[in-house]
Amino acid sequence: MTKFPFMKKNLFTIAMASLLVVACKNENTVIEDRDVNNDTEQSYDSEKERQEELDREANKEELLEAKIQEAPALPYKQARGYIVKKTYEVKSDTSLKIESKAEFEKVFSKASTIGWKGETTNIDWNKQYVIAVLQPRTDQFISIAPSYATKDGDEIYIRYAELEGEDLTREYSPSMVLIVDKEYNGNLNVKRRKS
């Protein structure tokens, strides 16, 4: 060992330098870990805030629905004997306010199929207009019926439900047609009622 005394000193220096490098690297790792943890906490806060916002929106919707149900009822008559024309394309659930016979005849025709045997409901276009809910073509029978219809100021709220039935041999567009007196005119707010 005495033959190489400088080696002992160099080994000690090399070992200390290695420890210093490892210690510095570990300190950086700890700092990086802290930064990651801070980001995670911020994400958690953001997620928590996002959930609180979603809860507030859901609460607003519930309050609006309660207010709507307490508003004065909208008098209407449900029309019978009309179907959506094959030439009228419905891509998604759609609500329409139809105020003339010409507009109505672009969308609907008198039902002569799907088992309709009764008279069509008369619409007096001078005194009435139509609120219609249409759905895309399907080969399954779907009945659309109003759950409630109310009027609050200038707003008309219609909530409807669906009842699915048996398969049919041909496609059609399910629809609901409500006839309303023009004195109850307003802006439409139509939604499918949540189950």
- pTM of the complete model: 0.66
| β-bridge partners, 158 | 149, 190
Chain mean pLDDT for the chain: 79
Domain regions of the chain by residue span: 1-70, 77-192
Give the other-Cβ count within 10 Å of 174's Cβ. Answer: 21
Give the other-Cβ count within 10 Å of 134's Cβ. Answer: 23
Question: What does the radius of gyration of the chain's CA atoms come to, in whole angstroms?
Answer: 35
What does the pLDDT look like over 16-63, one tens digit per residue? 545 444 444 444 444 444 444 444 444 546 788 887 777 777 777 777
Q: Is the pLDDT of residue 113 over 70?
A: no
Q: How confident is the model at residue 116 (pLDDT cuts 50, 70, 90)?
A: low
Rounded mean pLDDT, 173-194: 92
Predicted confidence at residue 136, as pLDDT, reads 95
Closest by CA to 181, choosing from 131, 132, 128, is 128
CA distances to 39, 49, 88, 124, 179 from 185, in Å: 53, 40, 25, 15, 11
